[in-house]
Amino acid sequence: MFKLIFLLFISSLYSKTIPIGQGQVKYFNIENTQNIKSGSYFICDQKVFFPEVSARFISGYFSASYFESSDIACQLIDQSGDATNISMNFLLKKVKYPREFLKVNKSKVNLSKSDLIRVGNEKENLELVYQFSESTSLIKEPFSYPLKSKITSRYGKQRVFNKNHKTQHLGTDFRAHKGKSIPAANQGRVVFTGNLFYSGNTVIIDHGKGILTLYGHLSEISVEQGQLVRKFHIIGKSGSTGRSTAPHLHWGVIVHGNMIDGETLVQESKKAFYR
């Protein structure tokens, strides 16, 4: 009897608990036993995102910001706006990213007034780019690293300049001499090409469903905004433009507005295709 009541209880209430680290993405896939329809969405604290809904599964990617400080509760809302019995809880794991302390000339840390304005405008523009990701997924296979070369700086490293000015490296740096061809990490649409203060000549590709990848410090850009590119299509050549001391590729990954560790997207996206 007790077992029966318990089974009835879990059949009407579905809650999944998933651990996630700061700056990471997780792929989830839950069985659609309650006939949830497409157009349903998760609301996670303030944020909303749309999972893929098929007759059998509800699936998608969830990311935690580098700066996230607590667990995140998500509730599934159906297409007509009513709360369902499906929820997901992301348990935050604190990640200890390495930290380095540097002493540099003040002028290298403190931006001029005009640079500050430029950086502010670029930040606003990028947030818009990230926000208008296509509602359907454009990928047909998992993500790969754009290059197979040595990773010279991993995601998440904190740099503390002159004891108090902190920056975080929210991307992955790959070794690349100037002029190396840079392939796209997956299929998608080019949604930004241009020169940015920090990342120099930059290409951003939208892969749909809130997932975008960024390629920075390029010496040349060989794609145009609006262009559809296949996985490994050459989007430009490596360089040292922007705030960079030597040629390399800075690869950024954005999921639902969070700059996350691309290594976790490469791993998690395999789950979506090989299950």
Structure tokens at 163: 């004891």
Distance CA 62, CA 32 (A): 18
Q: Which is nearer to Zn ion, 72 or 170 (CB)?
A: 170
Distance of CA 4 to the CA centre of its chain: 42
- Establish if 209 lies at the interface with Zn ion (CB under 5 A): no
Q: Which is nearer to Zn ion, 142 or 200 (CB)?
A: 200
CB of 248 to Zn ion, least distance (A): 7
DSSP string, 139-155: -SS----S--SPEEE-T
Q: Name the minimum Å distance from CB 174 to Zn ion.
A: 9
Q: Binding segment for Zn ion among 1-9, 83-91, 163-171, 232-240 (CB under 5 A)? A: 163-171
Task: Please list every residue from 233 through 252 that binds Zn ion, using CB under 5 A.
Answer: 250
Residue 240: CB minimum distance to Zn ion, A: 11
Please list, in sequence order, all residues whose beta carbon lies within 8 angstroms of the beta carbon of residue 99, skipping any fewer than 6 positions away: 157, 158, 159, 160
The reply to whether 173 sits near Zn ion by the rule CB under 5 A is yes
How far from 115 is each of 111, 120, 196, 245, CA to CA, in Å? 6, 8, 11, 18
Please identify, among the stretches 121-129, 134-142, 173-181, 203-211, the one whose residues bind Zn ion according to the rule CB under 5 A.
173-181
Among residues 118, 102, 44, 123, which one has the least CA distance to residue 76?
Answer: 44
For Zn ion, how many residues bind (rule: CB under 5 A)?
A: 3
171 binds Zn ion (CB under 5 A): yes
Query: Of 171 and 183, which has the nearer Cβ to Zn ion?
Result: 171
Smaller CB separation from Zn ion, 60 or 247: 247
Amino acid at position 112, single letter: S
The count of other CB atoms within 10 Å of the CB of residue 136 is 9
Q: Which is nearer to Zn ion, 51 or 171 (CB)?
A: 171
Residues engaged in binding Zn ion (CB under 5 A): 171, 173, 250
